[in-house]
Structure 1
Amino acid sequence: MISPVERLSDLSEQDRGTLVKSGIDPEAKVSGSFMLADHSTVHCNCSDPEVEVLPISTALELHDGLRPYWRRLIDDNENGDPDGGYFIRSKAGSTVTYPLQACLYLAEEKLTQNVHNIVVAEEGSTLNILSGCATAPGVRSGLHVGVSEIYVEKGATLSFTMVHNWGEDMAVRPKTSIVVEEGGTFISNYICLKPAKDLVMYPTAVLKGKGAVATFNSVFLATEGSCIDSGSRVILKAEDTRAEVVSRAVSMGGKIYARGHLVGEVPGVKAHLECDGLILSDRGLIHAIPELEAQCNDLEMSHEAAVGKIAQEEIEYLMARGLSEEDSRSLIIKGFLSLDILGLPEELKRDMEETIKQADSEGAM
């Protein structure tokens, strides 16, 4: 059990290390931060008057049940009352200078964690959220069900980066729905290089206002014994809306089902879906499932999907310039996964590189 802390930097050295590897830097300058450990909020702080960060239970009481938002996009009554979660709101017209950090953490073995989160980027605001989901050192198994409802109001921009760092026997079930209003922009970056045993997620964004934009970037690495079933869906319901869904998947013995679904409902929309897979073990599997659904004429939607292996000539090219074969393979994989996402701690980037190198070494055996 983790006791409440005033600052994330007050956590134990082990827990701080796990947070950094999950995209959360306890020492970083942020606008606010939140942490749920098992079923309890152990930290919630906000230093920027233009943003609000609250435990979901407090927000429900303070804001009259969050009636404009609560369970409007996802009704999770079948899961009962949530164990916790967060409410994050950027105020209308504001530009939140520093990112906001949120962490969902399992510290107890074989625990079920059921959370419900609500994020609102009010009209004309700009907000950047770094979210980390992780298990404590020594915790291998459990169940995480995370419901998130995200609202991007007129002219707002929300960037949401999530890093998953789960134990090897975890089952993970995120459920996310997003609605983007006129002129709004939603950007999702998702990284999972230390996969759970069983991960299923399929976030859906609805572009309901003219000129709304949604972008999903996903990066997966599946080691032997893991199964990742993930994708993104965008429904373009208004004129001049735009969407892009890009995924990079590497199997080193695990199974990856990479899905993508674009639905064009009105003329004049543009959307592109791209899924690239790199399979490095005969024991692995990558199944790319791109879908385009056009419900009218005069729209533009396209998709690309490719699965292959590392080309030997690429390895030989790098080896000729002084790299070892192992370092050459790792560098190619790193470049393929495109890990240079802004805002991630340097220690996390180094840990990602080590994870790739170790997984590649084991997968090539």
Structure 2
Amino acid sequence: MSEITVQEAKEIIAQEIENLARRNKEPEWMTRIRNKALEAFERAPHRDPIISEEELLQFIAKPEIEGLPDHIESLDDLPPEMKALLDRLGISEVEQKYIAGLAVQTDTGVIYNQFLQEWAKKGLIVLPMEEAVRRYPDVVKKHFLQMFQADESKLTAYHTAVWNGGIFLYVKEGLKVPFPLHLFFLIQESALAQAPHIIIIAEPNSEFHLIEGCTAPVLVKHSLHLDMTEAYIGDGARAQLTVLQNWPEYVHTRPMTRARIGKGARFINTTVGLGTGRSNIANPKYWVDENGYVELNGIILGQKDWYVDLGGEMYLRGRGAAGINASKAVIMDESTVITRGVIRAEAPKTKGHISCDALLMSDRAVMETYPGLVSRVDDAELSHEAAIGKIREEELFYLMSRGLSEEKATQLIVKGFLEPMLKDIPMEFLVEIRKIIELAVSGGM
């Protein structure tokens, strides 16, 4: 990748905005949002601890991948290497026949998108974000960038200027989707910025589970996954978002997620980071109304010299609102994991808990945790706990005395440590996750 100046990068981004608007037949209001974000980039603060402003500008979003077909009827039409990647993510042939929807985004293009017509008629709408902007402009305009400000950071400004791809998910009031929906992001090119925008709208008393998978071939270097998710969970709705990450070490990931949880609604957000590269969860926020509930689960496997920074800020703003922010990390080699969590109790009878557990597998591994509890009422119940340590020798000795090798005993302890947080992962994915954990602990990755 050749070096470019800041001014050259800005000119390329401006041209990319024009290309996106023309190719996507974008309405003027969306193009205006992009151009305002590009203007905001210069004055927006830069808070990323890893990527400099100059490096950020190098990640120029590209519209498509050469050599991919324009239209795909089934998974058999995918390029062999891409189908192999999906198989490694755990999507079995049997499951592919039963799930009603599957969307795959490779770099910046959604290339496979199939949904049963009967579910669309029932009120399940899943569209590429570009198509949703054209078909449902009023709905998208009402929800697009309503939880973010383009000028709050260089990351949000950059994403807003060049967002490309992503999914619009709408679940009609009262509709309960009985199968998981799947969304996959694959980066196949170095020096690429993949910036999908995801809008989730769960109407009152609806239910769904969205599984997002992220990966890239091991040869991809110095790429950026900069997704933004805005979730609107209506009163009484039940929503799950599970993110499975298996990025190579040179991929920078900057997920930005924010959600509004309505009265009596539940939102469970689980992130499984088996390959996290250089990851920094960019200022996630969750607003919880009366008797609403939010649960953030972070499962991190740190290897090599990876750097992972994750957390979330909850605002318990309705009476009886509750939230849990829990993380478990297995940290190996010279990797660093930092967890941050803030819970703000702003209404009576609210409850919140932060927990962080970590296994250090190396003397050079680093774990830092920064919990924050803020109460503006006198009857809130807020708590936090943390436990950081190594595998106890007596546990290892006991398992080895039962005939296990040290490697197998270590694998068993690590899997047992992480297992409680994996309870809601579908079995097809769970098998693959366990395989990756075994390989990592044994040094096979």
User: Is the structural similarity TM-score above 0.5?
Assistant: yes
Whether the aligned pair in 2 keeps the contact of 1:24 and 1:345 (CA below 8 Å) is no
Select 1:33's aligned residue among 102, 107, 110: 102
Question: What is the root-mean-square deviation of aligned Cα atoms in Å?
Answer: 1.9
Q: How far apart, CA to CA, are the structure 2 residues paired with 1:9 and 1:239? A: 51
Select 2:142's aligned residue among 68, 72, 77: 68
* Superposed counterparts of 1:1-365, under 5 Å: 1=65, 2-3=68-69, 4-22=71-89, 24-25=91-92, 27-28=94-95, 29-47=98-116, 48-49=119-120, 50-65=123-138, 66-76=140-150, 78-79=157-158, 80-136=161-217, 138-207=219-288, 209-253=289-333, 254-338=335-419, 340-346=422-428, 348-362=429-443
| Structure 1 residues without counterparts, runs of 5 or longer | none
Q: How far apart, CA to CA, are the structure 2 residues paired with 1:133 and 1:249? A: 19
- Distance change in 2, residues 1:334/1:290 (3 Å): same
The alignment's TM-score, normalised by the length of structure 1, stands at: 0.93
**Shift in Å at residue 187 of structure 1?**
0.6
| Structure 2 residues without counterparts, runs of 5 or longer | 1-64, 151-155
Which SS does the other structure have where 1:317 is aligned?
Answer: helix
Aligned partner of 1:37: which letter? T
Whether the aligned pair in 2 keeps the contact of 1:224 and 1:283 (CA below 8 Å) is no
**Shift in Å at residue 274 of structure 1?**
0.7
Q: How far apart, CA to CA, are the structure 2 residues paired with 1:23 and 1:121? A: 27
Which SS does the other structure have where 1:293 is aligned?
Answer: strand
Larger proportion of helix: 2
**Shift in Å at residue 5 of structure 1?**
2.2
Aligned partner of 1:70: which letter? F
**Shift in Å at residue 92 of structure 1?**
0.8
- After TM superposition, the structure 1 stretch with the greater mean CA deviation from structure 2, 227-236 or 107-116, is 107-116
**Shift in Å at residue 26 of structure 1?**
6.1
Aligned partner of 1:274: which letter? S
Aligned partner of 1:344: which letter? P
Aligned residues: 361
Whether the aligned pair in 1 keeps the contact of 2:253 and 2:276 (CA below 8 Å) is no
Aligned partner of 2:124: which letter? V
Aligned partner of 1:138: which letter? L
Whether the aligned pair in 2 keeps the contact of 1:22 and 1:132 (CA below 8 Å) is yes
Whether the aligned pair in 2 keeps the contact of 1:251 and 1:284 (CA below 8 Å) is yes
- Distance change in 2, residues 1:24/1:153 (3 Å): farther
- Distance change in 2, residues 1:316/1:134 (3 Å): same
**Shift in Å at residue 344 of structure 1?**
3.1
- Percent of residue pairs bearing the same amino acid type: 29
Structure number with greater CO (CA < 8 Å, separation at least 6) is 1
- After TM superposition, the structure 1 stretch with the greater mean CA deviation from structure 2, 164-173 or 103-112, is 103-112
Q: How far apart, CA to CA, are the structure 1 residues paired with 2:392 and 2:269? A: 30
Whether the aligned pair in 1 keeps the contact of 2:297 and 2:327 (CA below 8 Å) is yes
- After TM superposition, the structure 1 stretch with the greater mean CA deviation from structure 2, 234-243 or 79-88, is 79-88
Whether the aligned pair in 2 keeps the contact of 1:31 and 1:51 (CA below 8 Å) is no
Q: How far apart, CA to CA, are the structure 2 residues paired with 1:20 and 1:238? A: 43
**Shift in Å at residue 25 of structure 1?**
4.9
Deviations 1:319-361 (A, max 9, x none): 2222111111011101111263334353x43443333233323
- Distance change in 2, residues 1:305/1:177 (3 Å): same
